[in-house]
Structure 1
C-alpha cells in the first residue's frame, strides 16, 4: 500500500468545508488501513462525512458515510477516469446550512481536484 495523499481542505460552500484524500490500494484490507490512517487525524475523525469509493481487482466498493449518494458520485468519476486500484475519500465538515444538490457538485469538485493532482483527470 502506498502512502495516503491528503490535499486538505480544497473548497468551502456556505460554511461546509471539503477535503480530499486518496491512496493506491489493491485489497479491502488496504482500503481499511487508509481509512484508519485518515481517521487517526482528529480533524478527519470529527468530520461529518468521510465518503469514499474504490475500484479493486475484485470489484467496486463505495460508502456514503451519511452523505447519501456521494459514494456513487466518486465511483462514477473513478470509472470515467479509468482509475483502478485507488481509493478516493471526500471529507465534509458540515457548516450549518444545507447545500441541496450542490453537495454533489462539491463532491465532484473535490474528486476532480484529486484526479487532476495525480494526473488522472478526465
Structure 2
C-alpha cells in the first residue's frame, strides 16, 4: 500500500492519494478496509476510488463525491494502469470547491501515477 499524504490543500479541504494491487472487488474491499484502519482515513469525508481490472472491467466508488470515481477511472484508462486501485481521500474544509474538486482529484491521481513511474497518457 502506497499513501501519499497532503497532495492538495484548498480552502480548508485536504487531499491525499493511496493505491495498491487489486485484481477484483474483494481486493478493493480489503484495500479500503485496511486504509480505514488508520483513523485519519476512516474519519475522512470522502474516500473515492477506481480500478481497471486486467480483463477490462472498470469498478469505481464515489463515496459521496459525485463523479470523482469516474475522474480517477478515466486517468487509469489513459495511463493503461490495470489491477491497481487508486483512492483519493478528501477531508472537507467547510467551503464548497465547485469544479476545482475535480482538478484536485486529477492532481492526486497524477501524483500517484508519477510516484509509480507511470505516464498519465495525456
- TM-score category (smaller protein): over 0.9
Of stretches 68-77 and 54-63 in structure 1, the one that deviates more from structure 2 is 54-63
SS in 2 for 1:90: strand
Shift in Å, 1:61? 0.2
Q: Is 1:7 aligned to 2:4, yes or no? A: yes
Of 53, 66, 69, which aligns to 1:68?
A: 66
Given the two structures, how large is their TM-score scaled by the length of structure 1? 0.95
Q: Is 1:53 aligned to 2:45, yes or no? A: no
SS in 1 for 2:4: strand
Deviations 1:51-87 (A, max 9, x none): 0000113500001000000000000000000001100
Query: What are the equivalent positions in structure 2 for 1:32-51 lying under 5 Å apart?
Result: 32-51=29-48
Shift in Å, 1:6? 0.5
Given the two structures, how large is their TM-score scaled by the length of structure 2? 0.95
Gaps of 5+ in 2: none
SS in 2 for 1:73: helix
Shift in Å, 1:11? 1.3
RMSD: 0.8
